[in-house]
Amino acid sequence: MDEARISEIVESVIRNINAKENKKQLGVFDTMSDALDAVNKAYKQFRSYSVEQREKMITEIRKLILDEAEEMARLGVEETGMGRVTDKTIKHQLVANKTPGTEDLCPRVYTGDDGMTLIEMAPFGVIGSITPSTNPSETVLCNSIGMIAGGNAVVFNPHPNACRVANYAVDLVNRGILAAGGPENLVVSVKKPTHESSNEMMNSPIVRMLVATGGPGVVRALLSSGKKAIGAGAGNPPVIVDDTADIAKAAADIVNGASFDNNLPCIAEKECFAFDNIADELIAGMIKAGAYLIKGEQIESLKKVCLIEKDGKYVINKKWVGRDASKFLKEIGIDADPKLIICETEEMHPFVQVEMMMPVLAIVRVKNIDEAIDMAVRAEHGNRHSAHIHSKNIDHLTRFARAVETTIFVKNAPSYAGIGAGGEGHTTFTIAGPTGEGLTSARSFTRQRRCVLVDGLHIV
Ligand code: NAD
């Protein structure tokens, strides 16, 4: 066979593979400019769809998420090496069951002597969304439901280390949309996201609003884009336990919250301030609930695994984010498989001050509530993201909430109650502290429009 024929065959095989992959991954494009063109077309079609049709699409998406939750959980752990399949499955189910749809768009009306004025929640248009590696598919799915409910289209630039599972979610959303008779490519992404594709997305005139879910770098980048932006940034949630709490329950709740998905959630308990007079009981309760206590030299050895010292400051060793507790212990010569590693430290220990996203929880003894609140507020670093407390003293609950000013504040429950898992209220995986939307939902992704009719439709 001559060379020309061979390269013809190779090209055709590559074309077929691409066609197959495109077929498998709806909405996922090779380049950002192709993704932007496609989503722009889709948004124009979507403008003529009714709210009822939006809701039908969302219903299909919810069904597919529930069917494929475990598959995405597995893929997420496999691709990123972070988190736990069982917990990630629960996170997907939470997205399917508790992300608000179109019912969240509550129009308002004023009527009076001068007639009637209507406030409606209108779409922004095409929204550009940047998603994290810690909840990759969950964020794509949750954003998609809320943004579609608001009448928008979305272009994602997922985290490069989690783009396979994020793009699986993009494909799933498109399958749901098509099954309900919606337009093609209402939600798009790129096969290999990069900083360049992210910049192209942010600067495109097609994109009318930006949403960033991630650490401080991405939130800063989006907020300086000159466009309407929602920033959901970093946290370092403290939890306080005082001597009025149900200590056994507090211990179990903290172990469950801090070990959930290996501490990846931005809302998870990341350091604990315990009253001195109950600290021993609390630690014993945590061990009973599945934690492993390390001491002395073991803490210093673990520090060398989790953190890297740079110019006198500690930063996380990214290799270790979201790994199983047993792997950390193995590294310091301990053979055990607990949910969480706990240790006692001083306030300024990096295990307290750095947002590690690892199943390692430092416990600091405090004399009283004043000291607990002061230390917890310092450890939260003004992120105003999440904070938690176990106490039956109303003054303590109120004082801490006032001092820490976080978007989420959970009392007497695991941290995940704050996003609707075992607590009232809807869920989200984009908690917008810096820009103030709080737990985002469909209405966060809309613009208010006012329509005024003078001297009419006022019927009383
Ligand atoms: P990350 O900041 O490394 O990445 C998030 C996304 O931003 C990725 O897609 C990344 O590629 C992109 N990115 C990073 N810097 C950028 C820049 N300068 N310009 C454009 N894009 C940029 O975060 P991660 O490690 O994937 O996630 C963990 C962090 O996200 C933690 O700090 C956690 O608290 C936070 N987080 C917050 C929320 C929330 O709702 N507030 C939710 C999940 C995670």
Of all protein residues, whose CA lies closest to atom 36 belonging to ligand 1? 214
CA 193 to chain centre: 19
Give dist(CA 147, CA 141) in Å, integer: 10
Of all protein residues, whose CA lies closest to atom 33 belonging to ligand 1? 234
Q: How far is the CA of 364 from the centre of ligand 1 (A)?
A: 28
- Residue range 17-22: mean pLDDT, rounded: 48
In this prediction, residue 312 has a pLDDT band, given cuts at 50, 70 and 90, of confident
User: What residue type is assigned to position 128 of the chain?
Assistant: G
Q: Is the CB of 140 under 6 A from ligand 1?
A: no
Q: Is the CB of 198 under 6 A from ligand 1?
A: yes
Give dist(CA 460, CA 457) in Å, integer: 9
Residues of the chain with CATH 3.40.605.10: 25-233+438-450
Q: Is the CB of 135 under 6 A from ligand 1?
A: yes
> H or E element: which one contains 100?
none
pLDDT value of position 457: 83
Q: Which atom number of ligand 1 is nearest to the Cα of residue 430?
A: 40
Give dist(CA 371, CA 161) in Å, integer: 40
Backbone angles phi, psi at 342, to 5 degrees: -125, 155
Q: How far is the CA of 69 from the centre of ligand 1 (A)?
A: 22
Q: How far is the CA of 385 from the centre of ligand 1 (A)?
A: 14
- Residue range 153-158: mean pLDDT, rounded: 98
Backbone angles phi, psi at 312, to 5 degrees: 75, 0
Residue from 266, 269, 320 to probe ligand 1 pocket by mutation (most atoms less than 8 Å from CB)? 266
In this prediction, residue 371 has a pLDDT band, given cuts at 50, 70 and 90, of very high
pLDDT value of position 17: 45
Q: Is the CB of 322 under 6 A from ligand 1?
A: no
User: What residue type is assigned to position 194 of the chain?
Assistant: T
CATH number given to 25-233+438-450: 3.40.605.10
pLDDT value of position 4: 63
Q: Is the CB of 430 under 6 A from ligand 1?
A: yes
Q: Is the CB of 131 under 6 A from ligand 1?
A: yes
Q: Is the CB of 355 under 6 A from ligand 1?
A: yes
Residues of the chain with CATH 3.40.309.10: 238-425
| pLDDT of 6 above 80 | no
Q: Is the CB of 159 under 6 A from ligand 1?
A: yes
- Residue range 132-161: mean pLDDT, rounded: 98
Q: Is the CB of 221 under 6 A from ligand 1?
A: yes
Q: Is the CB of 274 under 6 A from ligand 1?
A: no
| pLDDT of 118 above 70 | yes
| pLDDT of 16 above 50 | no
What's the mean per-residue pLDDT of the chain? 95
Q: How far is the CA of 233 from the centre of ligand 1 (A)?
A: 7
Q: How far is the CA of 352 from the centre of ligand 1 (A)?
A: 21
Strand 291-294 to strand 340-344: parallel, antiparallel, or no bridges (unpaired)? Answer: parallel
Q: What is the pTM of this model?
A: 0.93
Q: Is the CB of 218 under 6 A from ligand 1?
A: yes
According to CATH, the superfamily of the domain at 238-425 is Aldehyde Dehydrogenase; Chain A, domain 2 (3.40.309.10)
Give dist(CA 247, CA 373) in Å, integer: 19
Give dist(CA 446, CA 434) in Å, integer: 18
pLDDT value of position 24: 72
Residue from 32, 135, 141, 159 to probe ligand 1 pocket by mutation (most atoms less than 8 Å from CB)? 159
Q: How far is the CA of 131 from the centre of ligand 1 (A)?
A: 7
When comparing pLDDT for 74 and 310, which is higher?
Answer: 74
In this prediction, residue 11 has a pLDDT band, given cuts at 50, 70 and 90, of low
Strand 446-454 to strand 115-123: parallel, antiparallel, or no bridges (unpaired)? Answer: antiparallel
Q: How far is the CA of 136 from the centre of ligand 1 (A)?
A: 10
Residue from 99, 130, 318 to probe ligand 1 pocket by mutation (most atoms less than 8 Å from CB)? 130
pLDDT value of position 3: 66
Q: For 195-218, what is each residue's pLDDT tens digit?
A: 999 999 999 999 999 999 999 999
The answer to which of 21-25, 49-53, 394-398, 429-433 has the lowest mean pLDDT is: 21-25
Q: How far is the CA of 213 from the centre of ligand 1 (A)?
A: 5
Tally of CB atoms within 10 A around 180: 17
- Dump strand ranges (E) for 140-243: 153-157, 187-190, 207-213, 228-232, 238-241
Whether 373 and 401 have beta carbons less than 8 Å apart is answered as no
Of all protein residues, whose CA lies closest to atom 34 belonging to ligand 1? 234
Strand 108-112 to strand 115-123: parallel, antiparallel, or no bridges (unpaired)? Answer: antiparallel
Q: For 399-453, what is each residue's pLDDT tens digit?
A: 999 999 999 999 999 999 999 999 999 999 999 999 999 999 999 999 999 999 9
Q: How far is the CA of 159 from the centre of ligand 1 (A)?
A: 8
In this prediction, residue 456 has a pLDDT band, given cuts at 50, 70 and 90, of confident
